[in-house]
Amino acid sequence: MTELPDTAPADLLRSLTVLYVEDDPEIRRQLVLFLSRRVGTLLVAENGQEGLEQFRQHRPEVVITDIVMPLMDGLKMAEGIKAIDNDIPVIVTTAFNDQDFFLNAIEVGIDHYVLKPIHLDSLLDAIRKAAKNVFQQRVIDSKNRALQLAATVFESSVEGIMITNRDNEIISTNRALSEISGYSADEVMGKNPRILSSGRHDRIFYREMWNTLQESGHWQGELWNRRKNGEIFPQFLTISVERDKRGEVAHYIGLFTDISQRKYDEERIERLAYYDPLTDLPNRVLLQDRLARVLANAQRDQHSAAILMLDLDRFKNINESLGHNVGDSVLQAVADRLRSCVREADTVARLGGDEYLVVMGDMDNAQDAAQVAQKILSAFNSPVTVDGKELGVTLSIGISVFPNDGEDEQTLMKNADSAVYSAKEAGRNTYQFYTRDMNASMLETLMIENALRRALERQELRLFFQPQVDLTSGKIIGAEALIRWMHPEQGLLAPCSFIPIAEDSGLIVPIGEWVLRDACRHLKAWQNAGFTDLTVAVNMSAVQFRQENLAERIIAIGSETGIDLQHLELELTESMIMHNAEAMIESMNVLKALNLKLSIDDFGTGYSSLSYLKRFPIDKLKIDRSFVNDITENPADLAISKVIIDLARNLNMRAIAEGVETAEQLRLLRENGCDEIQGYYFSKPVPAEEFEAMLRAGKHL
């Protein structure tokens, strides 16, 4: 401990605050003049009562007072001051020089006295002695404050602190160390810090630590320790050596910081950089690294490797009809099933959206990839269950094989992507190996998509109309609007050559709106020409039907073209309305409120539930052409057609058959009660002008 000095610094007087109390104005004037030149701050009072009030208010460090004063004498005032702070030096100036006075002064706690008449050197000497006490008290207070501050910092520090003696026995710890380690101070006192050892570090680690500590007096680094409950955790440790005056080790001081959260955050950030946060599969960054390794090993060992690119079929329908939360759950379920289909050495990655990729190395031949692809397809034979809903999920898989289909990552992935398109064109839910012809096909698809984007702007799309005929009257009662594309190079294209591309690219929405508007425009023209009872049927794609503002768009188009919406019919496919039937019922009711008509196209080819069918606000069932084609030769097709007709009648709907091409087909449909037909027997789809000419000519069955 630092010893206190015997004397105060010479300039201490200039820092003192002194209270001088004297009732004699002449003595007070002279002493005030003398003291004000030698002390820092001088407070003056004329009697003991005023002096005590000054002390309470300003807390001076030294008090000089006369004894005999009005209102309150000096000893009484000193007694009051000592009651407030017993350490305050009090100097009295007095003419008394008897034993009783000094006994009273000692009892009160007077520190010094100067006899009157006052000898200034004696007074100054008394002030210096009092200043020494003040200085020593200041030093003690400062040390106490420093110790108190150090104790506060020690105890409130978020870092664990451990102090050991030279024999490495723990002699002090703080609260943070107990919170971090789980050990109370009593449990570790006198123990060696190895009580916290995790066992993860070998002797070499600790030997190097102590060598550094002895050489430099300091060591810091990361290490793993063990909590009282057995949990191993990472911490950042700083150890310092405190030496005594002889240079011998006195203490070791260790500061512990629990870095578990930091380690977790670092690992999480690193994982986000290399793994998809939704499925926890490797992302593109990690995929490229693993793919490069697989190809390098395959080239070195002269083995094959393969890329399987997977794309979910019609995943957009799930997202748009059930919401992105359900879509995310499906993507997670797909990831889990894919993991179960591959070897541990293979990589399953998510490229983004609904695209996945499997990297297979160490293959004997391409058949290995085909077996995995088939295993994946079989894994999705059972539906995926999300929030109690069973959802059918299928995939299209494209396969490219190293080295035949490419010797670098980019080429293999591009060719696997081409094979995916081929799998989709082959009907989806299948796999295709890459062939060189696929790139040409993919390029053609891309060119069609780009040209289709410009087709609307260039007014290259056309509407044809196929008449719909009432079988009772034989008259034309409406038409189905069918789109065609007048391609500048390829001529008139049927919808099958570009509608699938429009659906995949999202162009089906603006194209579908154009069809709706143009059909309504022609309908209004025919109504103005006197054909007021006509109905125009427009096919509605699933993507278009799921637009949130579909009803508002239809109202706007009806208002723009001036038609009564009761003459507009929307055709919905059976598979479309059965996907999330409850939501479809709600959407259809919104549309029915507009007073338009709804029909189910291609009826009989899907999986309609009768319990739902009776709840759909449907006006018409359209018998699919696949049943009409063989209705004259296949009794089963005739029976199905009759069931659909009866079903429509019993549900207060009309039945219409499409694809009617012969008189015999027409006869059977009429005999079994079909309400309407359309097909080449009456007319192929024709331009609007030819359809109007039929109306004017009164063409009928």
What average pLDDT does range 227-254 have in this prediction? Answer: 88
For the chain, give every domain's residue range. 10-152, 157-263, 275-434, 454-697
How much of the chain is in helix, strand and coil states, percent to nearest 5? 50, 25, 30
Instruction: Name the architecture of domain 10-152.
Output: 3-Layer(aba) Sandwich (3.40)
Distance CA 392, CA 333 (A): 12
Give Cα 438 to chain centroid, integer Å. Answer: 38
| pLDDT, the chain, mean | 86
- Per the CB < 8 A criterion, the answer to whether 252 and 324 are in contact is no
Name the least confident of 138-152, 210-224, 460-474: 138-152
Q: What's the token pair of residue 484?
A: 């065609």
Q: What is the pLDDT of residues 578-631, one digit of tens each?
A: 766 777 888 888 989 999 999 988 786 655 556 677 788 999 999 989 899 999
> Which CATH class name applies to 157-263?
alpha beta
Q: What is the pLDDT of residues 566-590, one digit of tens each?
A: 999 999 887 777 766 777 888 888 9
What average pLDDT does range 511-535 have in this prediction? Answer: 94
Give yes or no for residue 143 having a pLDDT over 80: no
Using a 10 angstrom Cβ sphere, with 0-12 exposed, 13-18 middle and 19 or more buried, the burial of residue 97 is exposed
Q: What is the pLDDT of residues 82-117, one digit of tens each?
A: 889 888 889 888 777 666 666 666 676 777 777 778
Q: What is the pLDDT of residues 406-458, one digit of tens each?
A: 889 999 999 999 888 888 877 889 988 887 765 555 566 667 778 888 888 88
DSSP 635-685: HHHHHHHHHHHHHHHHTT-EEEEE---SHHHHHHHHHTT--EEESTTT---
Q: What is the topology classification, in CATH, of domain 275-434?
A: Alpha-Beta Plaits (3.30.70)
Residue 201 phi/psi, 5° resolution? -105, 140
Do 10-152 and 157-263 agree at the fold level? no
Q: In CATH, what number does 454-697 get?
A: 3.20.20.450
Query: What dihedral do alpha carbons 12, 13, 17, 19 form, nearest 10°?
Result: 150
Q: What is the pLDDT of residues 23-69, one digit of tens each?
A: 999 989 988 998 888 888 999 999 999 999 999 999 998 999 988 88
For position 3, what pLDDT does the model report?
A: 42
DSSP 25-42: HHHHHHHHHHHHTTSSEE
For position 391, what pLDDT does the model report?
A: 86
Backbone CA torsion sign across 404, 405, 411, 412:
negative
Give yes or no for residue 72 having a pLDDT over 70: yes
Report the relative pairing of strands 476-487 and 491-493 from DSSP bridges.
Answer: antiparallel
Higher pLDDT, 581 or 3: 581
Quote the DSSP letter at residue 475: B
The pTM (predicted TM-score) of the whole model is: 0.48
Using a 10 angstrom Cβ sphere, with 0-12 exposed, 13-18 middle and 19 or more buried, the burial of residue 17 is middle
Q: What is the pLDDT of residues 356-373, one digit of tens each?
A: 999 999 887 878 888 899
For position 427, what pLDDT does the model report?
A: 81
Give yes or no for residue 662 having a pLDDT over 60: yes
